[in-house]
Structure 1
Amino acid sequence: MRSNPERRTALVDAAIEVLAAEGARGLTFRAVDTAAAVPNGTASNYFANRDDLLTQAGLRIHDRLGPNPADLDQPPSAEFLTALLQLLRHRLTADRTGYLALLELRLEATRRPALQQALTERVRANLEENRALHEAHGLPGDPLVLYCAVGGLMLEQLTLPGVLPEGALEDVVQALVHPGT
């Protein structure tokens, strides 16, 4: 296997583009080579097989969608939490391709145990990190409920825009962070 990290990242990013545009069935080494604008056969030099490529794409998506550590360095408050959730929405909206590819990978993971295990470990670790951050900062609301609510809202917003009214995220976050206000 080749070890050029920049080329590997470019190929994985191209795989994410293919997943978002064509779905998991459209993800082939040749499609990745074309999307990355590299010679045919390049992707097969970097990934042992299609499962390896799918797993690497799943892990890379979380890196792309994850927060910038500087965004987390603010005093704890309900406003901080609201700003973080709005930042998450912005990141997911800005990298719509990454989010749609992640949805494709989650569906594909139901048929591929190794991919399911890799994604489960990564998402579980992210959720635990979010919970720890939430508790360490003494933020309001339940982090699991917020995770589920924001995930559902983003699914609607990015796959069926127009279903939810404008400001739905803010309204839901307000209700969860400041119940009864």
Structure 2
Amino acid sequence: MKRKINLNEVTAKEPIKVKTQIQSSQVDLPKEEVSKSSPFNLEIEVRRKPVGYDVKGKVTGEVELTCSKCNKKFTHKVEQPFHYELMPTSEIGGGQIKKGDLDIKFSDETVMDLAEVVNEQVLLNLPVKPVCSKECEESTISFSVGEEEQVKEKTEKEVDPRWAKLKELQNKLSEKE
């Protein structure tokens, strides 16, 4: 299993193509978001350009996430094609960022770590608010009029003892008005 690509070996006529599997232990995903993950399959092609490299490929695998609505763990499939330019840091220009600039990565490294490529692509494509199912995505928390009053009464009755004095003061002020 190849883990690194030496960029000095890449030519315009002879790109380097790699199909490999990166173990989940080699990928540094945030544990508070990803409970566990399968090994990731990576297909990557690196081609030299007059300045820099053209990098394209695909990452596939699975991660276990927690639903942001019901808090249930579920499996999320990762099937992410990617394409970007790898440029030397000397090419960083000043000024405004243009639309095409978002597909450029800057680095002066001569070795590309494939585990870092997988890690970056999985992180970029994790859902911001993961949901386990279509039903959970469409569900909303709603109260009927009666339930809303019950919730209001319950919260008014249950005063945290640390705030009791403040609640007494608030009640006295309300009575004076």
TM-score (norm 1): 0.25
Larger relative contact order (C-alpha < 8 A, sep ≥ 6)?
1
Larger Rg, first or second structure (1 or 2): 2
Report the structure, 1 or 2, having the larger strand content.
2
TM-score (norm 2): 0.25
